[in-house]
Structure 1
């Protein structure tokens, strides 16, 4: 019986057994087989990729390290098929260590590809940033040149159309621009020469480093790995310390913000108290001035009071008969004043009559004097 016949017999027997199983178990079996097939498919793709890389690189030492041959790879492809057969003949597959080596090498290759892609992306990004920066500088220079041309030439031409001075200014401006461009070209050429020299030096240093790197042995690489692990541990410790410091810094910033708020409130309170103190000082000064004025008024009032008290103390009431005589004399004087006032009124009335008579006589006399002159 051939291999295909045995496979067909086994599959027929297996299908017969599966037909006797219930639907739930069949679904679980199908799911389990699909999960196993997907895992085997991923492993097969990874092994094929690694084998293709080995064929492209043509490095048999790596094949010996991984202990992978074409026959073993063929055995790997037929491993699942051989497991499903009931025969006693089983092909030998890869061990766990071999798979681990393959996975490690694949992981390292993937990391190298990622680093390479990242380096290319960073280089492209720097290149594009340099182009953008150069374009921005060029655009700034163009705007500056346009502004200077409009300021120095166009305004003059618009004011003096067809004048020789405007033409001379245009020619002078073009000569200045050419001179600046020549100077810039010389500077860029010198800079390019210096950059080429610097590039040669860097290439020479890189070549020397590569030659030194080729002379390194496995012990040096182990030492470098040990130092790298130590540095990684130090970096991890520093990162933890940095995280702690960041947390402490965050707490400190929170405390600082709290104290800043308190300080702000205290400053506002201080300003309010300062304003209130100023108002109270002005009020106190005003009250002191009013107090001084009141004291002066009180002193004046006390002096006047003392004077009046002294006058009251020194006042003596005259005798009654003297008061009666003075009263009679006062009444007589009042009567005399009234009599003289009456006489004055009568005299004024007589004076008014005399004035009227005098005015009438004066008018008559003037008329009599005017009559002979009229004749």
Structure 2
């Protein structure tokens, strides 16, 4: 009793402290507790689903019968729960994180299986409804064609010839044709159904034979298959090693190839440069050849001139000294006469200029006189 009194006093004190809290903190506490309650509710629902899947129905009914207790015991338990609410929450053994994760994973797998089954059922129903719709459309087209033919063949003749024997005969013939076509269709469908049943039996027999052969092989040759599997695994491992070696070799060859490619690129660039230089040198050689030909021609001309000069030099005779002196004196006299005549020409030009000025003055005065007094007056 002392423990219960102490627990009740502690709970009452905590309740008083909670009553003394402000409204904002109380709202936050209520939201936090509601969030925790919702999380616990979802966990409880998941645990109940998992427990219901694991526990058989007989044991579940026994558990429910054991759980039924009297009303007084319920009230007593409620009172105890109220007094031990804070301590009882701490004493409850909760699920671990791994167990919760396992439960969630199983629930997720079950949900995925249910979704998969629902999707398969929905696809099956969709295909079934599509087939029904397609069959209805085909049947509707057939009905429309039959109605059109009936209107074309029977109704027109009946409307034209009312009460005639020909219309009734056509009607009877049309009905007989329809019955005959239906009988033919029924026979075709029956034969098709029989052939499909035979095909289904063959397929089932083949499937059963394959299953039996598969079971026989599984029972008889399992060890041999394991040995072959091990051999194939060894072969795969060796092939993988070979593949790794080939990859390494291919990497080395790629490096060498890249090096040779870079060399080839440099060689190509050098070749292009050498081709350009070769063209330039070729053009320069052509120019040099032209200059050489021109120099040869100039040399030939110079040789001919040199020969002529040498010939003249060989044929040249030096004159006598007295003749040279006389010629020199004559040249001096001629130069003096030239200077004298040049002086005379300058004097004559100056006198000519004076005469021209006087002539121009006389001409202007004459023109002025003629302008003042004309000759007729």
TM-score w.r.t. the length of structure 2 is 0.44
